Amino acid sequence: VPDYLRGRVMAAFSQVAMGMMPVGTLIVGVLARAIGVSHAILIGTSLAALIGGYLFIILRNHPLKMPAE
């Protein structure tokens, strides 16, 4: 990321990360009420691990290309 855009990129990243947190807690809360807390946490961590593994494999095989400065 070019230096002149670094602050804007970090602001956008923080906005998305903090903005999605209430959505995730709502989903896990509804799931916990329906099937129990331990099962809801197990499902949430399993999904996070699967998505993380998928992204790791995809990005390892197709690295992001950064433009030359």
| pTM of structure | 0.64
pLDDT, tens digit, for every residue of 12-56?
999 998 999 999 899 999 999 999 999 999 999 999 999 999 999
pLDDT of 59 over the 70 cut: yes
pLDDT at 68: 66
**DSSP one-letter string for the chain:** --GGGHHHHHHHHHHHHHHHHHHHHHHHHHHHHHH-HHHHHHHHHHHHHHHHHHHHHHHHHSPPPPPP-
